[in-house]
Structure 1
Amino acid sequence: MSVGDASTSPSLRAETFHTSLRDRLLDPRSSPRSGEVTLYWLGQAGFVIEFNRFRMLIDPYLSNSLAQKYQGTKFPHARMMAAPILPDELDRLDVVLCTHRHTDHMDPGTLQPLAIRFPKARFVVPAAVVDEAVKRCEAGIDRLIAVNAGERTEILDGCFVSPIASAHETLDRDANGNYPWLGYVIDAGGVRLYHSGDCIPYPGLEEAVAVHAPHVALLPVNGRDAQRSGNGVPGNFTLDEAVTLARNGGARAMIAHHYGLFDFNTISSDVIDRRITLEKANGFEMFRAQQGQGWRLR
């Protein structure tokens, strides 16, 4: 499949399940078939991505480390939803991708247990934060795959990642030209997913995404404001901005996420659902990430 070949474009189908995520992942009937990719939401920006025999996680936050860190502060980071699965409940894992160093995306309370439980698993991280990633994963440098915007790296057999710079809320680079905030285009056998990490619009982003013509865009929708930014909580796309990026970036569908975990940094699910109804009426496929639902891209 060539980039932008709409005639053979995969379709995204939602599947509801009534078991735990652990049992769902253990059930061989839910595994992706040849040429398919399956997705499950972990809360916040986290997803399980399965392709062929491989399992990836992106930005998993499966602990309470932020609640412990910020207990008694203005933003206590208490969970509004429990982690749908814990690190020791996973039966296998090949790769973890972290888009940047913030704890809800690169969480020591999640990554360290995973590194121990799965000693062959590797970690894709921005080259700009390799030293921090080593500490947070407590894994040797040999287990890290350091990447930067503009590259294309094979992370598994037949699966490539192409990072795109993100602005959180600023578009930053270090002295070596590496971007600390990244989004990832994951190309799994020709099925392309774009996960922006934490990001706001900036000139050239739509064009950078459109080059890859992702089939599905996984985008945060919790927005931003002066109160959050002024208290050390940099923001993300608004719902309008996320939909605009997905459409103008050539995505065939969008899954809205990064809501519903912290009460000071979220958006109402009803607001997302109303937008989904509107977009579908206008011919654009859109979903809200939620527990008890998976997606099959085929």
Structure 2
Amino acid sequence: MAMRLEPRKLGRMVSSGVRRYPHQLLLSIMGRGAGKGPEGAVVPPWWRWGDGGPSLGAVWLGHATTLVRLGGLWILTDPVFSERIGPRVAGRTLGLSRLTPAPVPLSALPPIDIVLISHAHFDHLDRPTLARLADPRTKVVTAWKTAGLIPPGFDKVIELGPGEVFEQEGVEIAAVPVEHWGARFALDRKRGCNAYALRAGNERVVFAGDTAETGAFDDLPGADLAVFGIGAYDPWEHAHATPEQVWAMARRLGATHLMGVHHSTFDLSEEPPDEPLRRLIKAAGELHDRIVGRAPGEA
């Protein structure tokens, strides 16, 4: 995705990065600043979806990580359970620490059938989490030129480009283009970046990954659930849609329910952590009850 930014916008982006990253880098080196997640074998009520529960369900697990039950399969999106995200150097992760812990430990999840990766950014493709998830029964569906970043141990890694489709046991996953970019580092900008449209029978889910405002979802045949990022827009609106833009995209898509994710988990931008959800609820007005999964661990 080619981006042309006016000097003032570029200046705000640089200032935003300078405000947070040097301090977090220092904390990373010192081994401080990362909060601890939950411990123990927690079994949340939504785990029982697999025991004759609803055929379609989803729970937000923090940032862009959602656990989806669709067509009898467990699907996990952009899993990040690490306490800190960023590159690994000498066995240590250098980068941002979580503001809020994951609502459950990784051990509480049911056996995952498919892991969906939208793109290679560190807050979406977290190699330490993927290494812990690696299982010969699990497939990974990811974007172009990202398979080499996936740790070994999975059954298969499938790369999809826009318009390409993967199908497993009656669940269809189609890659949708978005307004974002897929680089892991500064010079590998040819990597892909996807949203995904999922279908099992008459039930449909759209996972948007990261995107600015776009019409890419307008021609999809609706969705029972749309999962869209609603945070990290200030000053990154060219790459992350505002809550108002997300609500408009979900309405054009024809989504019955909307789950707003990608907020309140990492300090990625200038807006307060609680602002994205407040703005989304305000944008929805009388239809605010269509917004689900408002806090990590909620379905």
Alignment TM-score, normalising by the size of structure 1: 0.72
Alignment of 1:78-117 (within 5 A): 78-115=97-134
Q: Partner of 1:215: helix, strand, or coil?
A: strand
Partner of 1:148: 161
Q: Which residue of 1 aligns with 2:205?
A: 193
Question: Residue in 2 aligned with 1:205?
Answer: 216
User: Partners of 2:290 and 2:54 in 1: how far apart?
Assistant: 21
Query: Contact 2:120 / 2:182 at 8 angstroms: preserved in 1?
Result: no
Shift of 1:92: 1.5
1:262 aligned residue (263, 266, 271)? 266
Which residue is equivalent to 2:224?
215
Q: Which amino acid aligns with 1:256?
A: G
Further displaced range: 122-131 or 254-263: 122-131
CA contact (8 A) 2:182 2:191 kept: no
CA distance in 1, matches of 2:278, 2:213: 22
Q: Distance in 2 between matches of 1:260 and 1:129?
A: 26
**Distance across 1 between alignment mates of 2:223 and 2:41:** 26
Which deviates further from its counterpart, 105-114 or 216-225? 216-225
Map Cα deviations across residues 248-272 of structure 1 (whole Å, 9 max, x no partner). 1222221111001113436543552
Residue 9 of structure 1 aligns with which residue?
A: none
Deviations 1:40-62 (A, max 9, x none): 11100000112354211111101
| 1:59-112 Cα shifts (integer Å, max 9, x gaps) | 110113416859xxxx95121111223333434121111111112211111111
Distance in 2 (CA, whole Å) between partners of 1:170 and 1:63 is 20
Query: More relative contact order in 1 or in 2 (CA 8 Å, sep 6+)?
Result: 1
Match of 1:12 in 2: none
Over 3 Å counting, the alpha-carbon distance change for 1:68 and 1:51 in structure 2 is same
The residue that corresponds to 1:126 in the other structure is 143
Q: Where does residue 242 of structure 1 map in the other structure? A: 246
Work out the CA distance in 2 between the residues paired with 1:67 and 1:268: 20
Q: CA 1:68–1:238 in structure 2 vs 1: closer, same or farther (change >3 Å)?
A: same
2:61 corresponds to which residue?
42
Specify the code of the residue in structure 2 equivalent to 1:64.
E
Structure 1 position 31, deviation (Å): 3.5
Contact 1:88–1:113 (CA under 8 A) maintained in structure 2: no
Structure-2 separation of matches of 1:112 and 1:255:
27
The alpha-carbon distance between structure 1 residues 69 and 261, as it changes in their structure 2 partners (threshold 3 A), is farther
Deviation, structure 1 residue 150: 0.9
Amino acid in structure 1 at the alignment position of 2:216: L
**Amino acid of the structure 2 residue aligned with 1:23:** V
Contact 2:178 2:194 in 1 (8 A): yes
Structure 2, unmatched stretches of 5+, are: 1-39, 184-189
Shift of 1:219: 0.6
The separation in 2 between residues aligned to 1:293 and 1:181, in whole angstroms, is 27
Q: Give the 3 Å change call, closer, same or farther, for CA 22–104 of structure 1 in structure 2.
A: farther
Equivalent residues of 2:118, 2:194 under 8 A apart: yes
Distance 1:221 1:268 in 2: 11
* Aligned amino acid, residue 277 of structure 2: I
2:152 corresponds, among 132, 138, 148, to 138
Q: Which residue of 1 aligns with 2:4?
A: none
CA RMSD of aligned residues (A): 3.2
Q: Tell me the equivalent position of 1:24.
A: 44
Specify whether residues 282 and 24 from structure 1 end up closer, same or farther in structure 2 by C-alpha distance, changes over 3 A only.
Answer: closer
The answer to whether the 8 Å contact 1:46/1:57 transfers is: yes
SS at match of 1:128: coil
Change over 3 Å in CA distance of 1:32–1:146 after alignment to 2: farther
Report the Cα distance in structure 1 between the residues aligned to 2:216 and 2:248, rounded to whole angstroms.
Answer: 11
Q: Is 1:64 the equivalent of 2:83?
A: yes
Secondary structure, counterpart of 1:167 in structure 2: coil
Go from structure 1 to structure 2 and tell me whether the alpha carbon gap of 1:24 and 1:63 turns closer, same or farther (over 3 Å shift).
Answer: same
Instruction: Number of aligned residue pairs: give it.
Output: 249
Number of the residue aligned with 2:277:
272
State the AA in 2 paired with 1:48.
L
| 8 Å contact kept, 1:215–1:253 | yes
TM superposition score normalised by structure 2: 0.72
Distance 1:25 1:114, change over 3 A: farther
Distance 2:197 2:73 in 1: 17
Shift of 1:120: 1.5
Percentage of matched positions with identical amino acids: 21
The answer on whether the counterparts of 1:126 and 1:179 sit within 8 Å (CA) in structure 2 is yes
Tell me the SS of whatever aligns to 1:217: strand
